[in-house]
Structure 1
Amino acid sequence: MKTVILFVGLLSAPAVAADQFDLVCMFGKTEVRYRVDLARGEACQSVCDRVWKMGAVTSGEIVLLDTMHDYQTEVAQKIVVNRTSGILQHWIGRVRPFTEAATCRSDPFSGFPAAKF
């Protein structure tokens, strides 16, 4: 019985690990790290001083951030990562958006900061 439980536990472990990861993206020579938790639908950037709710996640792409239609935010942005190519597209602004691209790789999940309350 112990063998069966251990075997089932090993099968489910990689699926959980795939839901949490860091994306290390190169914007030219500048590295930016995103911490991503697909199960919670949350992400953050660099030192992770702000955790935000992510957009849609499909087998083809991850919308890390989308404030393009939220007119209460200071800066309209959209960050989308192609899960096949690893290319990240970042749009900033509504009228004539500035666009930048990066190439990303995954790293082990470095976690979110602990909540104080």
Structure 2
Amino acid sequence: MPETILQAAQPYLNAIVTAIIGVLATMIIAGLKTMQVKANEWLDARTTAAQRETIHKVAGEAFALAQTAFKELGGQAKLEEALSYALKQLGSRGISVSAQEVQAAIEQAYLDYKNK
């Protein structure tokens, strides 16, 4: 008898779990978008327009490099490779920014890629 009840309730339980996962995913994406906006505002306040353009260009290059050259690595390892590349490139161009600022720009490049 209890097995019959569980079998009857299984489709409803699946629907509930799927809905919860959907809501959580939506909340995470909204949180990332909010973080992206705040990071851009902070970055904009501390750099010139030309520097911001260069930072975002290099971040896009770093993201593309990590996606293609380091496909076999996990997400965090790809981010570290992209961050390393971007910091070296920006340093060679005389742009001094924190790793956190560069990471925010790389993550924005990732979100822009995902939204296309």
Smaller-chain TM-score range? 0.3 to 0.5
More helix by share: 2
Q: Which has the higher contact order (CA 8 A, sep 6+)?
A: 2
Larger Rg: 2
More strand by share: 1
